[in-house]
Copies of this chain bind each other. A is one copy, B any other.
């Protein structure tokens, strides 16, 4: 996958080649990596001049200062930047311009075919998802939900899980507030992050080394209106972990 490659067309061709018959309402979960590549979100490290601030963080975390510079450009806020003695490595966790909180602001260097390059998240993943969805609709004649996914670490828990960073045509949240449970008790706070659960389910098949960049989920009914990945970003006022 290279910049300008027609991702919608390539995915539609794969669906036909695999003899899959998707139905309206099915959800195609797509790895962020191929979307970012098709959108040309590759940055050549040798083209980057790190700022003094990036140099200082890089020295402390023992990470390439050019990579830190790119991470800072992708970020609106550094959440943590620490050397982890027990792991023998530096970690930088940022809030991206989209409001996503993740390691390296999503800047990634794995599974890239060219050396000296890193890959950034799509600039507007909800818009990317909507564009792919429209292209697939035109080419396959069915209105699929589309989720762009990346694998994120979590506080307190070991291991990565896939989450939804872009959503179109499928629920992001299923809001159960105002409904009553089986014992008649009013649910006051329950919202389910269904797009994240769909992304996690697809993550089981994508692995990290398996080079499976898209997974079709069939038979899912959200019982909730379509949303955006932006719906999954917690507002600062209700966020206890800023």
> How far is A101 from B156 in the complex, measured between Cα atoms in Å?
7
Q: Which 6 A-B pairs have the closest CB atoms?
A: A159-B193, A200-B200, A201-B201, A155-B241, A86-B237, A101-B156
Q: Is the CB of B188 within 8 A of A208?
A: no
> How far is A211 from B112 in the complex, measured between Cα atoms in Å?
44
Contacts of A161 in B (CB 8 A): 192-193, 196-197, 200
Binding site for B on A (CB under 8 A): 80, 82, 84-87, 89, 91, 93, 95, 100-101, 109-113, 115, 151, 154-163, 172-174, 176, 179, 181-183, 185, 187-194, 196-198, 200-201, 203-204, 207-209, 211, 220, 223, 231-235, 237-241
Q: Taking the nearest CB of chain B, how far is it from the CB of A10, in angstroms?
A: 17
Residue from B200, B209, B223 in contact with A176 in the complex, judged by beta carbons closer than 8 Å: B209
Contacts of A185 in B (CB 8 A): 109-112
Contacts of A115 in B (CB 8 A): 183
> How far is A157 from B193 in the complex, measured between Cα atoms in Å?
9
Residue from B89, B113, B155, B207 in contact with A192 in the complex, judged by beta carbons closer than 8 Å: B207
Residue from B156, B196, B209 in contact with A234 in the complex, judged by beta carbons closer than 8 Å: B156
Q: Taking the nearest CB of chain B, how far is it from the CB of A116, in angstroms?
A: 11
13 additional A-B residue pairs with CB within 8 Å, beyond A155-B239, A157-B193: A101-B156, A101-B157, A158-B173, A158-B232, A158-B234, A161-B197, A162-B197, A176-B208, A176-B209, A181-B209, A198-B204, A201-B204, A207-B223
12 CB < 8 A contacts A-B: A84-B238, A86-B237, A93-B240, A110-B183, A110-B185, A158-B173, A158-B191, A159-B173, A159-B196, A190-B208, A200-B201, A207-B223
> How far is A239 from B93 in the complex, measured between Cα atoms in Å?
12
Contacts of A172 in B (CB 8 A): 159
The chain B residue sitting closest to A200, CB to CB, is B200
Residue from B84, B155, B209, B240 in contact with A82 in the complex, judged by beta carbons closer than 8 Å: B240
